[in-house]
Amino acid sequence: MEISRKDLIGNNSAKDEVVRSRTKDVIVDSSTKDEVVDRSIKDVIVIIPAFNEEKSIGYVITDIPREKVIEVIVVNNGSDDRTAEVARNAGATVLTETRKGYGSACLKGIEYARTLHPEPTIAVFLDADYSDSPGEMPEILKPIREGIADMVIGARVPGKREPGSMMPQQIFGNWLATRLMRLIYGVHYTDLGPFRAIRFATLNRLGMIDTNFGWTVEMQIKAARMNVPFREVPVSYKNRIGVSKIAGTVSGTVKAGYKIIYTILKYSRK
């Protein structure tokens, strides 16, 4: 059964519902009335998983350079605060994903993006906590635009990280995961950073399935196995607004670390 964009957005009020009329490659979005989206110029979809990020999500959306962006999609992943309201007021399309998990939210955003006609050329993912710097998106997109990569990872290099923005266990876990991938898959990544871009056609070929902590590493492993050309681009990394749901707790850190290592080893047996 074909899933419509209306089904994915959900039963929002008529004010919030996105209804589009199409004339060739030009789409008129009735949620903004006067805005005309020229698909020959705008070819990027931005997907932001969000869970209780009312204090930060507005800043994230506002800072995104919109010249090439078709739509900013915020996937509300079970928030019990004003995340959805703030995101909608900032101009994002808000989807609801009731299945908890970072990967579940990303998959929901991808499912929605597939309903766009034509499909976007590039998908960008970033976090909702304002630790990433959305203004650096053109640098993330550049290797894809230049035809030298199909996937770009924003590398949170030491010189561009704010002190305290990554916990010691995150830094060690990142090093261990990338080292294991180098040993097992022969690919030299230095980071599992959430700020990334990938050609949408390539993303579809990867067949992403992880619903939680293994999402980023699954993408990188599958890309390596398929010999997808990639680049890493140094990006800034700030102290997030609010408390991390993963690195901010012992249980979250342990669960994330276990799932990442499990995912790396799982695909080595296939």
pLDDT in tens, 27-48: 333 333 344 445 568 999 999 9
What is the Cα–Cα distance from 65 to 198, expressed in whole angstroms? 17
The structural domain count of the chain equals: 1
Q: Are 66 and 35 in contact (CB under 8 A)?
A: no
Which residues of the chain fall below pLDDT 50? Answer: 1-2, 11-37
CATH code of the domain covering residue 242:
3.90.550.10
pLDDT digits (tens, 9 = 90+) for 164-191: 888 888 888 899 999 999 999 999 999 9
Domain containing 170 equals 5-268
* Encoded amino acid at 96, one letter: T
